[in-house]
């Protein structure tokens, strides 16, 4: 072991039973739950405080449900390709890994492109976080939450795509030198990506459908 090697990257720690990387990503995801939890809590506070009759549904506020549904399918699809890319490595199929992983990155990018179109449509109608949809009951509060929640989520998607791209282009060289460690890295990248999908599973009905 060289001076810069961290212990328990491949073999599980004798006390925790998991690798340091896996415990680390789960602790990070726990903090992410609280980050999004505080924003969901703000949503509940503002919605309950405004009175049900003053809160527009996503459709009333001008959101496009079919586009939101399409993006949900895109993100769910990216989650299954991500887990399949990890499974391919476990089965020693590097070619299949590259295909699934590249598809995951493509679907993540597609999600962001669709989101960008949604944002530009809102901006072109004069809808901003501080303005809102003119015909809705309490639009500025709704859109302040919409842009904050979806913006933070989109940032998480982008921050998932970038390391995934690095792993696909450069990090994959580790497959030749240390297969187990590379597989572990993909598993950790996958846990983050599934969490991003999981957040959207709640954001979609809360913002678009209710």
Our finding on whether 195 is near other proteins (CB under 8 A) is: yes
Our finding on whether 16 is near other proteins (CB under 8 A) is: yes
Our finding on whether 17 is near other proteins (CB under 8 A) is: yes
- Where in 68-87 is the site for other proteins (CB under 8 A)? 69, 72-73, 76-77, 79-80, 82-84, 87
Stretch binding other proteins (CB under 8 A), from 41-49, 108-116, 128-136, 173-181: 41-49
Nearer to other proteins, 167 or 188 (CB): 188
Distance CA 188, CA 182 (A): 10
Non-local CB neighbours of 77 within 8 Å, separated by 6+ positions: 107
Per-residue DSSP letters for 145-198? HHHHHHHHHHHHHHHHHHHHHHHHHTGGGHHHH-HHHHHHHHHHHHHHHHHHHH
Triad 92, 78, 103: Cα angle to 5°: 60
Nearer to other proteins, 6 or 18 (CB): 18
Both tokens of residue 186? 């993909």
Nearer to other proteins, 65 or 159 (CB): 65
Query: What is the distance between the terminal CA atoms of the chain, rounded to a whole angstrom?
Result: 55
Our finding on whether 54 is near other proteins (CB under 8 A) is: no
Stretch binding other proteins (CB under 8 A), from 65-73, 114-122, 125-133, 137-145: 65-73
Q: How far is the CB of 90 from other proteins (least distance, A)?
A: 4
Our finding on whether 108 is near other proteins (CB under 8 A) is: no
Distance CA 107, CA 92 (A): 24
Our finding on whether 35 is near other proteins (CB under 8 A) is: no
Our finding on whether 38 is near other proteins (CB under 8 A) is: yes
How many alpha carbons lie under 13 Å from residue 85 in its C-beta half-sphere?
Answer: 31
Triad 188, 150, 142: Cα angle to 5°: 150
Our finding on whether 168 is near other proteins (CB under 8 A) is: no
Our finding on whether 27 is near other proteins (CB under 8 A) is: yes
Q: What is the total count of residues that contact other proteins (CB under 8 A)?
A: 49
């Amino acid at each position: 072991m060289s001076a810069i090697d961290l212990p328990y990257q491949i073999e599980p720690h004798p006390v925790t039973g998991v690798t340091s990387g896996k415990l680390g990503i789960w602790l990070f995801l726990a903090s992410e739950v609280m980050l999004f939890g505080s924003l969901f809590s703000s949503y509940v506070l503002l919605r309950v405080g405004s009175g049900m009759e003053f809160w527009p549904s996503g459709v009333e506020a001008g959101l496009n449900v079919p586009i939101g549904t399409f993006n949900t399918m895109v993100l769910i699809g990216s989650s299954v390709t991500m887990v399949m890319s990890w499974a391919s490595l476990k089965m020693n199929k590097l070619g299949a890994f590259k295909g699934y992983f590249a598809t995951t990155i493509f679907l993540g990018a597609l999600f962001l492109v669709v989101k960008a179109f949604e944002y530009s449509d809102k901006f072109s109608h004069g809808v901003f976080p501080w303005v809102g949809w003119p015909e809705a009951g309490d639009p500025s509060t709704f859109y302040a939450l919409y842009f904050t929640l979806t913006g933070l989520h989109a940032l998480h998607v982008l921050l998932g795509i970038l390391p995934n791209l690095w792993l696909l282009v450069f990090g994959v060289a580790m497959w030749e030198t240390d297969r187990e460690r590379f597989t572990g890295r993909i598993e950790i990248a996958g846990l983050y990506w599934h969490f991003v999908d999981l957040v959207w599973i709640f954001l979609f009905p809360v913002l678009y459908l209710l």
